[in-house]
Amino acid sequence: MTTNSIQLLKEVETPGIEEFQEPTGKVAYGFLYNRITGSLDVVRHDDGSFVKMQDDFNNIINDDDYMKVIWSDKLLNFSWAAPSTNYTGHLQVEIV
């Protein structure tokens, strides 16, 4: 089991201009964080739709921006750690 397929690869050619390498996977997982309620939603895109990226350069975070996006060629299952573990409050990912 490797995590190479879930890393978002980014190259910065010149300050202020970001170019992204071709994703290794064809499925994008976007993390939407609601600042008002504190809820976190993971949205899976596997239909060829566009994924809106956060503007890290200007630190602009809109309500419909993803906080982070990862790409994968594997199915990823996300769950919160059980209260009975030492990792309460941590998001866990399982590579299927």
The pTM (predicted TM-score) of the whole model is 0.57
Nearest CA-CA partner of 3 in 72, 52, 49, 53: 72
Helix, strand, coil content of the chain in percent (nearest 5): 5, 40, 55
Q: How far apart are CA 10 and CA 79, in angstroms?
A: 26
When the pLDDT of each residue in the chain is averaged and rounded to a whole number, the result is 70
Tokens of 61: 């975070």
What pLDDT sits at residue 12? 41
Give residue-wise pLDDT tens across range 25-64.
Answer: 678 888 888 878 888 888 888 877 777 766 666 665 677 7
The pLDDT value recorded for residue 24 is 61
- Decide if pLDDT at 7 tops 50: no
pLDDT band of 73, cuts 50, 70, 90: confident
What does the pLDDT read at residue 54? Answer: 66
Under 8 Å CB-to-CB from 30, ≥6 apart: which residues?
42, 43, 45, 51, 52, 66, 68, 69
